[in-house]
Amino acid sequence: MKLQEIATLLGSRVPKDAADVEIRRISSLQSARGDDISFMVSDKHSAAALQSEAAAILVPRDTAIEGKVCLEVGDPYLAYARVALLFEDRSPEFGSGVHPGAIIDETAEVASTACIGPGTVIGAGCRIGEDTVIDARCVLERGVTIGRECRVHSGATIRRDVVVGDRVILQANAVIGSEGFANARDGARFVRIPCFGTVIIEDDVEIGAGTTIDRGNFEPTIIRRGARLDNLIHIAHNVEIGEDAALAAQVGISGSTKVGNRVLIGGQAGFVGHIRIGDDTFVGAKAGISKSVDPRSKITGYPARDLMKMRRIEAAQQELPAMVKELRRIRAEIKKLQQMSS
Amino acid sequence: MKLQEIATLLGSRVPKDAADVEIRRISSLQSARGDDISFMVSDKHSAAALQSEAAAILVPRDTAIEGKVCLEVGDPYLAYARVALLFEDRSPEFGSGVHPGAIIDETAEVASTACIGPGTVIGAGCRIGEDTVIDARCVLERGVTIGRECRVHSGATIRRDVVVGDRVILQANAVIGSEGFANARDGARFVRIPCFGTVIIEDDVEIGAGTTIDRGNFEPTIIRRGARLDNLIHIAHNVEIGEDAALAAQVGISGSTKVGNRVLIGGQAGFVGHIRIGDDTFVGAKAGISKSVDPRSKITGYPARDLMKMRRIEAAQQELPAMVKELRRIRAEIKKLQQMSS
Amino acid sequence: MKLQEIATLLGSRVPKDAADVEIRRISSLQSARGDDISFMVSDKHSAAALQSEAAAILVPRDTAIEGKVCLEVGDPYLAYARVALLFEDRSPEFGSGVHPGAIIDETAEVASTACIGPGTVIGAGCRIGEDTVIDARCVLERGVTIGRECRVHSGATIRRDVVVGDRVILQANAVIGSEGFANARDGARFVRIPCFGTVIIEDDVEIGAGTTIDRGNFEPTIIRRGARLDNLIHIAHNVEIGEDAALAAQVGISGSTKVGNRVLIGGQAGFVGHIRIGDDTFVGAKAGISKSVDPRSKITGYPARDLMKMRRIEAAQQELPAMVKELRRIRAEIKKLQQMSS
C-alpha cells in the first residue's frame, strides 16, 4: 500500500517524495522494519522514534522527527488503529466457503459469501449473513440469527434463538445464551426457574474469549451497539450493557442490572443485581457495586465509593495501626491531665 | 393447558368460570399476553398486576386484584418456578436420537431414549442413562457415567471416569474433571502432582457455563445433591460442595475445602484451601475466606468477618480521613493543655 | 513396580526383605491399600501412618514408623510427586494414532508418534511434535507449532501461529492466542486495534482449564519455561510470565505487565497493565496490584501493600468502630479539660 493512500485515509499530508513509498505492515517504533509504518503517541517516545527503522511515522500535529517521514494526525493512537485495520489478515482460518467438515442443518440459511469452518455445527432455522466467517468447532443451536461481516472464532457456542447483529466479533469459547441462574426455594431444595428470553447482541459489539452471557427470563439480555467485553466476563440474565461501554476482563454483572452508555469498567469489578449504572460512569478495577449510581460517576473500591473519597480512605488506612497506638497514648495522657486537674 | 390443571398442580383453587381458560405461556406482568399466566410476588407489584393482560395471575394468599383471575398460593415465586417448568421447551437442540455427526465409541452404552447431538464425542466405556440429552460438540472421555434425565449443553467437556447422577444440568463449555493444580518443588522448579481421583456430581445438581471442576488427588471432588453453581466458577481438587448449596458466578474454592449444606455464596467470593464452611452459612459477594466458619455464620469482606461487624467497619471507614485530622487536632490541643498544666 | 526401583529413583534405601515388594499405586495414608505406597509429609501425620495399610511409606529422614516399611527421603512431598508420575496413566483418551474423526489439513505435519483425537481440527501449516497427544474436539488454527511430549486436553483452542514448546500441558477448554483487548476511541465510538503478535508458550508450561491467553500487539505474549497457570486465568496481550512462576485460579493480568521468575500469585489477584513484578515475589490471594514491585516483595490487599503492614492494617480495621466512639469521647473530655483550664 502506498503511503499516499494511508495519508488520504487519515486526512493527512505526505511529505514530498514520500507519496509512493510502499508500506507493507504497521509496527511499534522498536520492532519496525524498513517497509513498516509506525506511530508515536506523544513526545515521550521521541528517542525511540529517532532510532526507529520505520519508513514513516504517524505523529501528533506540528511534530517533526529529524530524518524521518512523518504523517501528522490529530490522534496518533486512533490513526494507528485505523491503519492497523488496513493491514489485518481477516481471512478465514480454514479456507473460504463451507468446509466439508461442517455439520449444517438443511433448514439453515447460510449466505453464499459466508464461511463455515470444520467441525462447526449449525442448527435448524439458523440464518448467517453475508461475509460472516465462523471458524472451527463452533455451535449455533436452532434459530440463531447472525448478521453480516461477523467473525465467530473457533469454539464459540451460541445457544438457541440468540440474535446477533452486523460486524460483531465473538471470540474463542465465548458462550452466548446460557441459562440464567434463577432458583426458587421449596423448603431447603431449589426449584429451577427456566428462562424463556434470549440474548440480543447489537451491531459492532465485541465479546472476549470464554465470556458467558446468560439469556433473559422473559425479556432479552441485551448488549448494545459498539460495546466491548473482554475475556471471562459473566453477564447474568436480563442485564443490559449500554452502547460503547467497555468492560475489562473477569467483570461480573448480576441479573437485571442496567449498565449505561459509554460506561468504563475495570477488571474483576462485580455488580449486584437490579441496579442502574448511569451513562459515562467510570468503575475502578475490583470494585464491588451494590447501589445504583448517577451518570458521570467515578467510583471504586468495595463497597464502591466516589473515586477521590476512596483514594483518601485508602491513604488514611496506611495510618491505621499508628492511629490505634496514638489513641492509646492520648487516652493515657488525658487521664493524667484529668488527675492533675481534679 | 387448562387453568384448572395448573391450579391442581399448585394445590390452589380456580375462580368460577375460569377453570377451562387455556394457558399457553408464563410471562412477567408487563409482557404477558391474553393467553399467559403471570405472577405477583407481593403487593408492591399490584399496579403492574392491574394493568397486566395476563389471563390469570399467581398471587399471595388472601389477595384479590380487581377484574383479574387470581390463583392464591403460599409462595407465588415458587409457584412461578413450578408453572414455568410446565411450559419449558426441553427438546434436544439437534433432534432426537443419536445424530449421525456424533462420534461414539463402540464400547459406550447409550440408553435407547438418550439423545446425542452432532459433533459430540463419547469415549470408551461411557454409560448414558435414559432420557438424557447431550447437545452438540460435547466430549465425554472414557469411562464417564451419566444418569437419567440429564441435560449436557453444547460444548461441555466431561473428563475421564467422572460420575454424574440423575437430572443433572451441565451448561455450555463447562469442564468437569480437569486436573488439579498441585505441584511439589524441586529447587526452583515445579514437579507436577498427577491426580488419581475423579469428580462425583450427585443428583439434581446444576453447573453453569464455563465453570471448571477439578478432579481429586486420591479421593473425589464431590458436588452434592441439589447444589447450584453459576457460571465461570472454579472448584479445585478434593473440594466438597454441600447439598442444596448455591454459588454465584466467578466464585473460586481452593483445594480440599468443604462447603456445607445450604450454604449461599455471593459472586466472586474466594476461599483458601483446607477449611470448612458450616451448614447454612451465608457468604457475601467478593468475600475472601481464609478460616473455617461455624454453621449458620453470616460473613463478608476481605478478610471475611461477621456480616454486621463488617458493615460497622465499612461505615467507620468513611470517617477515616476525618479521623486522621481529628487525631492531629487532639494531639495539638493536648500538648497545649499539658503546657498549661505544667 | 518393585519397591527397589522406586527407592533407586528417589536415591533412598529399601529396608531388608522389602526390595521385591510389588507396588501398584500411590495413595494417601487413609485410602492406601496393601499394594500401595504412601507418604507422610511430617510427624503430624504419624497416627495416620501407623494405621495406614500402605505397603510402604515415604517419610522424612531419620523417621521410623513401627511395623511399617519406610523409605527415608529429603522431601516426602517431592518424592510423592515423583512416584505419582510413575503411576500416572498418560495414555490418550481416544486411542493411539490419528482418529478417523479428526479433521487435519493436508499441509499439517503430524509426527508419526503423535495422537490426535476425534473431532479435533488441525489447520494448514501446523506442526505437531513426537509423542504429543491431542485429545478430542480441540482446534489448532493455521500455523500452530507444538513441540514433543505435549498434552492438549479435550476442547482446547489454539489460535493461529501460536508456538508451544515441549512437554507443555494445556487443559480442557483453554484458549491460547485470542485477540487482545485494545481499542482506540473515535469520539464516543471504539475503533478496534488488531493484534499482529502471537503467543509463545515455552517448555514445561502448564495451563489450566478455561484459561485465556491473548496474543500480543506486535511482540508476543510469553509464558516462560516451567510456569504454572491454574484455571480461568486471564492473561492479556504482551504480558510475560516468568520461569517457574505459579498463578492460582482466576488471576487476571492486564496488558504488557511483566511477572518475574518464581513469582507466586494467589487466586483472584488482579494486576493493572504496564507494571513489573520482581522475581521471587509473593502476591496474596485477591490482591489488587497497581504498581511495580521489587524482587522478593511480599504483598497483599487492595491496594496491595507489604504483607506484614497489610496484616497490621487489617487487625486495626477491627478496632475502627470502637475508635470512632473513643475519638468522640476524647473530644468531649478534652473540651471539659479546656473549660476547666480556661
Say what the ipTM of the complex is.
0.96
Strand B288-289's sheet: what is its strand order? B103-104, B121-122, B139-140, B157-158, B175-178, B212-214, B234-235, B252-253, B270-271, B288-289
Residue B15 pLDDT more than 90? no
B45 to chain A, any CB pair closer than 8 A? The answer is no
Residue C214, pLDDT score: 98
pLDDT confidence band for B341 (50 / 70 / 90): confident
For residue A194, is the peptide bond before it cis, meaning its omega torsion is within 30 degrees of 0?
no
Mean pLDDT, to the nearest integer, of A174-186? 97
What would the pLDDT profile of B312-337 be if each residue is shown by its tens digit?
999 999 999 999 999 999 999 999 99
What would the pLDDT profile of B110-160 be if each residue is shown by its tens digit?
999 999 999 999 999 999 999 999 999 999 999 999 999 999 999 999 999
Residue type at B311 in one-letter notation: R
Ranked by mean pLDDT, the top range of A61-65, B60-64, B208-212 is B208-212
- Of C159, C183, C250, which is closest to A250 when you measure between CB atoms? C250
Residue A195 pLDDT more than 90? yes
Query: Under an 8 A CB cutoff, do A94 and C272 touch?
Result: no
The three three-digit cell numbers of residue C17, written as one number: 526383605
Other CB atoms within a 10 A radius of the CB of residue C95 amount to 15
- Closest chain B C-alpha to C143 CA, distance in angstroms: 24
Cβ-contact B78, B115 below 8 angstroms = no
- Closest chain C C-alpha to B166 CA, distance in angstroms: 24
DSSP letter for each residue of B91-123: --TT-SSB-TT-EE-TT-EE-TT-EE-TT-EE-
pLDDT confidence band for A342 (50 / 70 / 90): confident
What proportion of chain C, given as a percentage, has pLDDT over 70?
Answer: 100
Other CB atoms within a 10 A radius of the CB of residue B8 amount to 13
The per-residue pLDDT of chain A, averaged, comes to 96
C232 to chain B, any CB pair closer than 8 A? The answer is yes
What would the pLDDT profile of C130-162 be if each residue is shown by its tens digit?
999 999 999 999 999 999 999 999 999 999 999
Q: Is C43 helix (H, G, I), strand (E, B) or coil?
A: helix
Handedness of CA A154, C167, B120, C209 (dihedral sign): negative
The three three-digit cell numbers of residue B284, written as one number: 457475601
The per-residue pLDDT of chain B, averaged, comes to 96
Task: Spell out the residues 6+ positions from residue B242 whose beta carbon is closer than 8 angstroms to its own.
Answer: B224, B227, B258, B259, B260, B261, B262, B263, B279
What does each C-alpha distance from C111 to A307, C87, C166, C216 come to in angstroms? Answer: 56, 26, 13, 28
Could you give the CA distance from residue C294 to residue C309 in angstroms, rounded to a whole number? 16
Cβ-contact B313, C318 below 8 angstroms = yes
The three three-digit cell numbers of residue B95, written as one number: 433432534
The three three-digit cell numbers of residue A10, written as one number: 487519515
Residue C199 pLDDT more than 80? yes
pLDDT confidence band for C342 (50 / 70 / 90): confident
The angle, 0 to 180 degrees and rounded to 10, between the axes of the packed helices A307-318 and C307-318 is 100
Query: Under an 8 A CB cutoff, do A312 and B321 touch?
Result: yes
Total residue count of chain C as it appears in this document: 342
What would the pLDDT profile of C51-91 be if each residue is shown by its tens digit?
999 999 999 999 999 999 999 999 999 999 999 999 999 99
Residue C297, pLDDT score: 98
Query: Under an 8 A CB cutoff, do B323 and C327 touch?
Result: yes
A171 to chain C, any CB pair closer than 8 A? The answer is yes
Query: Residues of A with catalytic annotation?
Result: 237
Mean pLDDT, to the nearest integer, of A286-311? 97
B267 to chain A, any CB pair closer than 8 A? The answer is yes
Residue A158, pLDDT score: 98
Q: Is A99 helix (H, G, I), strand (E, B) or coil?
A: coil
Adjacent-strand bridge partners of A312 = none
Choose the mutation target among C154, C178, C204 for the interface with B, i.e. most B CBs under 10 Å: C154
| DSSP-assigned letter for residue B44 | G
Query: Under an 8 A CB cutoff, do C267 and B268 touch?
Result: no
Query: B323 phi and psi, to 5 degrees?
Result: -65, -40
Residue A149 pLDDT more than 90? yes
Alpha-helical (H) ranges within chain C are 3-10, 46-51, 76-87, 307-318, 320-341
Output the 3-class SS for B127-173: EECCCCEECCCCEECCCCEECCCCEECCCCEECCCCEECCCCEECCC
pTM: predicted TM-score of the whole model, two decimal places:
0.97
Choose the mutation target among B89, B286, B339 for the interface with A, i.e. most A CBs under 10 Å: B286
Residue type at A130 in one-letter notation: E
Q: C residues 115-144 near A, CB within 8 Å?
A: 119, 121, 123-124, 137, 139, 141-142
What would the pLDDT profile of C25-37 be if each residue is shown by its tens digit?
999 999 999 999 9
| DSSP-assigned letter for residue A217 | S
Residue B16, pLDDT score: 80
What does each C-alpha distance from A201 to A220, A239, C109 come to in angstroms? Answer: 10, 12, 39
What would the pLDDT profile of A1-18 be if each residue is shown by its tens digit?
999 999 999 999 998 889
Query: Under an 8 A CB cutoff, do C191 and A137 touch?
Result: no
Other CB atoms within a 10 A radius of the CB of residue C4 amount to 15
Residue C341, pLDDT score: 81
- Of C139, C189, C288, which is closest to A137 when you measure between CB atoms? C139
Could you give the CA distance from residue C214 to residue C234 in angstroms, rounded to a whole number? 8
Could you give the CA distance from residue A199 to residue A180 in angstroms, rounded to a whole number? 11
Total residue count of chain A as it appears in this document: 342
Nearest alpha carbon to residue A299 among A283, A288, A314, A322: A283
Nearest alpha carbon to residue B157 among C157, C104, A220, A253: C157
What would the pLDDT profile of C272-304 be if each residue is shown by its tens digit?
999 999 999 999 999 999 999 999 999 999 999
Could you give the CA distance from residue A222 to residue A213 in angstroms, rounded to a whole number? 9
Adjacent-strand bridge partners of B289 = B271
Residue B253, pLDDT score: 98
- Closest chain B C-alpha to C188 CA, distance in angstroms: 30
Query: Under an 8 A CB cutoff, do C316 and A324 touch?
Result: yes
Residue B144, pLDDT score: 98
What would the pLDDT profile of C231-250 be if each residue is shown by its tens digit?
999 999 999 999 999 999 99
Instruction: Kindly tell me the burial class for residue A91, based on how many C-beta atoms sit within 10 Å of its own C-beta (0-12, 13-18, 19 or more).
Output: exposed
Residue B228 pLDDT more than 90? yes
What would the pLDDT profile of C90-143 be if each residue is shown by its tens digit?
999 999 999 999 999 999 999 999 999 999 999 999 999 999 999 999 999 999
Handedness of CA B50, B52, B56, B61 (dihedral sign): negative
What would the pLDDT profile of A243-274 be if each residue is shown by its tens digit?
999 999 999 999 999 999 999 999 999 999 99
Residue C218 pLDDT more than 90? yes
- Of B173, B185, B319, which is closest to C324 when you measure between CB atoms? B319
Q: A residues 314-333 near B, CB within 8 Å?
A: 315-317, 319-320, 323, 326-327, 330, 333
Residue A16, pLDDT score: 80
What would the pLDDT profile of A315-330 be if each residue is shown by its tens digit?
999 999 999 999 999 9
**Pairing state between β C305-306 and B288-289:** unpaired
